[in-house]
Amino acid sequence: MSDAPLFDSHQALKQVGRSLAGEDRVEDALRIYARILKENPQDVEAYLFMGDLYLAQDDGETALLFYNQAQQLAPEDRVIAGRIKLAHMERRYHSRPEKAPESEKKEEEPAPAPLVPVTEEEIARAARLMQEVLSSDEPARELAGRLYELEKLLPAILELNVRQARQEGQPGLAAALQDLRERLARERQTASPAVPAGDLPEGEGLPRLLFLSSQVHDPSRRMALAAGALSELGCEVTLAAQFPSDFEKRFDVVIAQAPHGSPELLTGLAACSAAQIPILLDLNQDYELMPLDHPLYERYGLGSLTGARAYTAALLLAGCIITPNAIMARPLKEKGYAVSVIPDGWDRGNPLWEKPSAPRSTLHIGWIGEDCQVDDLLPVRRVLFRILREFPNVNLVFAGDPKALQLFANLPESRRIFLPPAGAEDRPFLLSQMDILIRPMGTRPFYASQSDRLLVEAGVRRIPWVASPLPSYLEWKAGGLIADSQDDWHQHLRQLILDEGMRRSLGQEGRRAAGQREMSQLRSAWMQAVRQVWAPAPEHAAEGAHA
């Protein structure tokens, strides 16, 4: 006799949810499926249906979050891949600014600035790049590893195609490509300020940089931003998950993040050191203090003799170690290592940072489960219940970790919202769902060295915050309030809920301070760290850039 249940409650709920969606009762359908995911977070079908509901409402951003979660559970499913493409298309469409009437354009828009011409040097670099990609044994892998360089040289690549079309007697194609190149250049000039003169090297060559990340297609936010910033300065940048076979000839400096978690990367760094290629080691976490229950401990923790030796080897191989704050840097300096402090930043190039939040009648207190544990919510759990009793228009938003919902299971589902994990590109969207960010952190030594990144990002979105007194939070200060006790948590949250002017004022303060952390402000610090371990050979100085 079969042991299968006679009644599958989840399937019954799904039928109810689909019926509600068919009656255009989308919010009710979303609540049903949110309940299903809470009870079964591995349900791919439920993630897909949630994504479909949001996509039908022209909300490609939220749809993409659910589709990405489904793809993590079923990476080979072509249906999910198709949905993700649709969500990307929807998001791009709705992020386009509306065109102003011609009459308004004439009055409000200033005359466009002259376009910066593509230089012959850039065209030569573009030609070499395309030749190297096409002659590679694995062109797709080669291209994936050089996306930053490709993006930087895109105008020059288009100019190459314009010239080729003219030589082949195709004036129509040449004109279309020329128009595309000019529109691209215009968009770039509008979106990005020119590189300050102080950022540019004076009479010296630019290094070829290899950024090593164990996940080349989804590198850490810090590595991706650093790579993009140095590319903007004109460096040739390659992002890879492993050492290319000919790395000795192709790169001048290697920048690696936490290579002790990968034996292959550490072996490559040893070969790199033997070839006298300088190494920068970026430490985004204090791995010496990482607790046993940290989700990344098995890979990066130093509890085993092998892990501790690998970490020490990485420190010794590095010509300079980079940390996000002085707290992490101090013990390394005391041990005699060369250390540079470069704080975490953000990139103005992501249009989601400036996209207005959708209007809502409720006020959302939000928590993001990153670099912390769900247990850190326990000390403020009672405070949050009290706040929700006092203010019926306040809801809670939990992003990233569904376990957080379990701590508030007694709340009505309508008053607790869950958002699945999101990549670096979608962080602005997560924050846009919140009106007040909370950052309760425990007293573990590991937390004392945490970066202030999340508070900075909240400032970019003009969102006030309430946080525990971590050293980096106390130093940042801008845009929020520090809570030393449960009474502080309750008082600060009440103030922010009742006083819209205070929320707005703190949000503006956070935004002003966050401007100092935009990558155009930090790229010279990254270049300085590179130059600390690398000096161009005489032939480089004579040539200028590597191109």
Phi first, then psi: give them for residue 256, nearest 5 degrees: -125, 145
Residues 216 and 228 in one domain: yes
Angstrom distance (rounded) from CA 529 to CA 320: 8
**Domain housing 457:** 351-517
Instruction: Pick 201 or 535 by higher pLDDT.
Output: 535
Residues 366 and 512 in one domain: yes
Residue 523 has pLDDT above 60, yes or no: yes
Q: Which of 40, 67, 95 is the last residue of a domain?
A: 95
pLDDT on residue 205: 75
Q: Please compute the mean of the pLDDT values over residues 253-267 and round it to a whole number.
A: 88
Instruction: Pick 31 or 238 by higher pLDDT.
Output: 238
In a domain, 198, yes or no: no
Residues 473 and 327 in one domain: no
46 contacts 36 by C-beta, under 8 angstroms: yes
Residue where the block lists tokens 């326990």: 378
Residues 375 and 507 in one domain: yes
Residues 127 and 235 in one domain: no
* Amino acid at residue number 102: E
Burial of 439 (0-12, 13-18, 19+ CB in 10 A): buried
In a domain, 335, yes or no: yes
In a domain, 479, yes or no: yes
Q: What is the mean pLDDT of the chain?
A: 80
In a domain, 151, yes or no: yes
pLDDT 10s digits, 177-228: 777 667 666 655 554 444 444 454 444 578 999 998 765 445 578 888 999 9
Angstrom distance (rounded) from CA 383 to CA 368: 18
In a domain, 102, yes or no: no
CB atoms near residue 41 (< 10 Å): 16
Q: Please compute the mean of the pLDDT values over residues 230-259 and round it to a whole number.
A: 87
- Which tokens in the block code for residue 251? 């790169």
In a domain, 72, yes or no: yes
Residues 340 and 358 in one domain: no
In a domain, 336, yes or no: yes
Residues 255 and 305 in one domain: yes
CATH of the domain at 91: 1.25.40.10
Angstrom distance (rounded) from CA 3 to CA 167: 74
The DSSP secondary-structure symbol of 118 reads P
Residue where the block lists tokens 């690998």: 310
pLDDT on residue 398: 93
Q: Which of 110-119, 270-279, 396-405, 468-477 has the lowest mean pLDDT?
A: 110-119
CA contacts within 13 A on the Cβ side of 148? 26
Please name which of 237, 232, 451 lies closest in space to residue 349, comparing C-alpha atoms.
232
CB atoms near residue 406 (< 10 Å): 10
In a domain, 359, yes or no: yes
CB atoms near residue 371 (< 10 Å): 16
pLDDT 10s digits, 320-378: 999 999 999 999 999 999 999 999 999 988 888 988 888 899 999 999 987 667 888 99
Please, where are the H alpha helices in 59-170?
A: 60-73, 78-95, 102-108, 120-135, 139-145, 147-152, 154-167
Residue 103 has pLDDT above 70, yes or no: no
Angstrom distance (rounded) from CA 480 to CA 437: 9
Please, where are the H alpha helices in 279-363?
A: 297-300, 305-317, 326-334
Residues 358 and 445 in one domain: yes
Residues 162 and 311 in one domain: no
Please name which of 272, 216, 208, 209 lies closest in space to residue 240, comparing C-alpha atoms.
216
Q: Which of 164, 191, 218 is the last residue of a domain?
A: 191
Q: Which of 133, 162, 191 is the last residue of a domain?
A: 191
How would residue 292 be classed by pLDDT, with cut points 50, 70 and 90? confident
Angstrom distance (rounded) from CA 244 to CA 235: 18
> What kind and span of H or E run contains 210?
strand 208-212
How would residue 405 be classed by pLDDT, with cut points 50, 70 and 90? confident
- Which tokens in the block code for residue 110? 């200033």
Residues 535 and 481 in one domain: no
- Which tokens in the block code for residue 7? 């009644």
Residues 332 and 214 in one domain: yes
122 contacts 547 by C-beta, under 8 angstroms: yes
Angstrom distance (rounded) from CA 401 to CA 295: 12
Residues 302 and 292 in one domain: yes
CATH of the domain at 294: 3.40.50.2000
* Residues whose CB falls within 8 Å of the CB of residue 148, separated by 6 or more in sequence, listed in order: 227, 228, 231, 237, 238, 239
pLDDT on residue 109: 45
How would residue 71 be classed by pLDDT, with cut points 50, 70 and 90? confident
241 contacts 223 by C-beta, under 8 angstroms: no
pLDDT on residue 17: 76
Angstrom distance (rounded) from CA 350 to CA 537: 36
Angstrom distance (rounded) from CA 303 to CA 26: 49
Counting the structural domains of the chain, the total is 4
Three-class DSSP category at 439: strand
Angstrom distance (rounded) from CA 100 to CA 103: 8
